[in-house]
A and B are shown apart, each in its own frame.
Chain A
Amino acid sequence: MNALTTRPELRKKIVLLSITVIIEGVAFIFFWSVLRKTAATHMQASSASRTSDALPNLLSDLNLILPMSLLAILLGIVCAFYLEEWLSSTSWIRRFIESQVAFLTGIPSLLYGLLAVIIFFGYAGVFKATRTTFQHNTALFYTEMLIFILMVIPVAIKATQEALRSVETPIRESTYALGANRWQVLTQQVIPRAFPQMLAGGCRAMSQAFAAAALLTGIHIWSHTTGLRGLPDRFMLFLGGALLLSNASSFLTEIYVPASTQQN
């Protein structure tokens, strides 16, 4: 059964995971305060209204990133369903896409960040002109979007495929043997069983994207000491988002035990 672990075990796991999250949170807040102090000393002369700028900047970033990653994840999930449930394992389209996905998921997110930086520097002069937020500059906006999609979709595809594969064939077959059609098997048996793992995969994909965004912002901070309005806050937002999502992902995978390990 692909189900929750037993209750005492679950309690132990939740306690352990919560301790990890608390430690991470404390370290995170400490790091943030240090970063803000450093940034403040750098910018004493440049801007007086830093703190008042921070919140709208953060919100506009979230406004940009959340819909984009949700869209990318949705696209990844749809693509994975198509590959896993409609194409046969011998179809060349499936083999081609799977090899590409394997290739793209194998690249560490650091390299994606660097790729984005290279593209930024490729637009000579553009980079230096960005005094404010990313989305005020279309070139940067599209670069960021491209990197995001390049990074999020393969991870989402792979995670969803793994989740769908974790639903055992006997379950599908016994549903078919009762006279269910493909749609009923998918919606009533496969998706409910695969959902926690799909959710964990989505969180993992978003977490990687956030980490790369944090890296980009970090590079921006350390290469420019002027015009830092709200950047440390944005860096921490991305970093915090990455941490939170990766925690959520491990939480889900810890709590839901796939069938093969629980019952033989």
Chain B
Amino acid sequence: MQTEKEQPILSIRDLNAWYGDNQILKSLSFEVQQRQVTALIGPTKCGKSALVRCINRLNDFTPDFRFTGEILFKGSDMYAKKTDTAAIRKQVGMVFRKPRPFQCSIYENVAYGARISGINRTSQLDTIVQKSLQKTGLWDEIEPILDGTPEQLSTGQQQLLCIARALAVEPEILIFDEPCGELDPIETVKIETLVRDLTNDYTLIFVTNKRRQAARVSDSAGFLYCGELIEFGTTEKIFSNPQDTRTEQYVTGRLG
């Protein structure tokens, strides 16, 4: 489907990052293609989360964080001085490991992003909420309880709700930071199917430490180890014909 060569939506050039004196990312460079799933795999504590948090500027709140290098979003520098951080975060959404719905009704949870962008008309909000929930496949299940609290949903449903909440602001890129870490296998399958479906409209970055999951959902993959990007390429290449011995060891389960 994605045969023609497109302009990469996100390109990262020579990114180094530190927390205090501890260097967590070492000269990473790669490009994310539009409407593809890019998986980032690697053992825990290898800098996957730190990397994706750079991409939507969540590291701004971490004291002692500093970095060098460039992150280009649609060709313009994300960390340029004039950049509106809130606007960047609206375009680069994020779904976290633990589903954390807000303390309000299910409807308000999904409508939250639209509300803070200044949309207040009920009819508009209704459409946004319905569309986002339909995209995640949650609409039929929770339509009768839209005014209920999110606590009555299962963990998997809560995670889907969080995805719907992120989709409601119409991001260009959606980052999944180990979205299935807390879910059971059936819920995981649901999320994985959803991730594949979402590629029609969005660019996805999928962080996981499960090799097979990455192989199932992604179009291209990068293997991170100790802060270094060991290898980056199409999923097929990474998993069936890795160039680096460490990548081979990792995908075959002998490393990490």
Contacts and interface: CB of A to CB of B under 8 A. Distances in A.
Given A1-B151, A88-B63, A177 B103 contact: no
Contact of A177 (B64, B87, B166): B166
A176 B89 contact: yes
B43 interface: no
A174 B113 contact: no
B63 A192 contact: no
A191 to B, nearest CB: 12
A193 B77 CA distance: 36
A9 to B, nearest CB: 15
Contacts of A180: 86, 116
A225 interface: no
Contacts of A88: 63
Interface string B132-169: 00000000000000000001000000000010011001
Contact of B86 (A89, A174, A181): A181
Nearest to A185: B116
Contacts of A175: 102, 112
Contact of A168 (B61, B94, B100, B151): B100
Interface in B41-87: 56, 58, 61, 63-64, 86-87
B63 A90 contact: yes
Contacts of A172: 61
A123 B159 CA distance: 66
B98 interface: yes
A177 B166 CA distance: 8
A174 B96 contact: yes
A202 to B, nearest CB: 21
Interface in A1-20: 1-3
A184 interface: yes
Interface string A160-179: 00000000101111111111
Given A173-B58, A189-B102, A179 B96 contact: no
A192 B96 CA distance: 22
Contacts of B90: 178-179
A116 to B, nearest CB: 39
B86 A170 contact: no
A177 B112 contact: no
A179 B113 contact: yes
B117 interface: yes
B147 to A, nearest CB: 16
A178 B93 contact: yes
Which of B96, B100, B117 has the most chain A CB within a 10 Å cutoff? Answer: B100
Contact of A3 (B93, B103, B113, B116): B103
Given A3-B151, A90-B63, A178-B112, A171 B102 contact: yes
A168 B86 CA distance: 20
B103 A178 contact: no
Nearest to B162: A174
A201 to B, nearest CB: 20
Nearest to B165: A178
B89 A177 contact: yes
Contacts of B93: 177-178
Contacts of B98: 170
Contacts of B116: 178-180, 184, 188
A1 B103 contact: yes
A247 to B, nearest CB: 26
Given A179-B87, A179-B116, A179-B169, A170 B64 contact: no
Contact of B103 (A2, A90, A174): A2
Interface string A187-208: 0110011000000000000000
A178 B58 contact: no
Contacts of A168: 100
A168 B116 CA distance: 20
Interface in B165-216: 165-166, 169
A142 B116 CA distance: 47
10 contacts: A88-B63, A168-B100, A173-B61, A174-B100, A174-B162, A175-B102, A176-B58, A176-B89, A179-B169, A192-B103
Interface of B: 56, 58, 61, 63-64, 86-87, 89-90, 93-94, 96, 98, 100, 102-103, 112-113, 116-117, 151, 162, 165-166, 169
Q: List the 10 shortest-distance A-B pairs measured between CB atoms, nearest first.
A: A179-B90, A88-B63, A178-B113, A177-B94, A170-B100, A179-B89, A179-B86, A180-B116, A181-B86, A90-B63
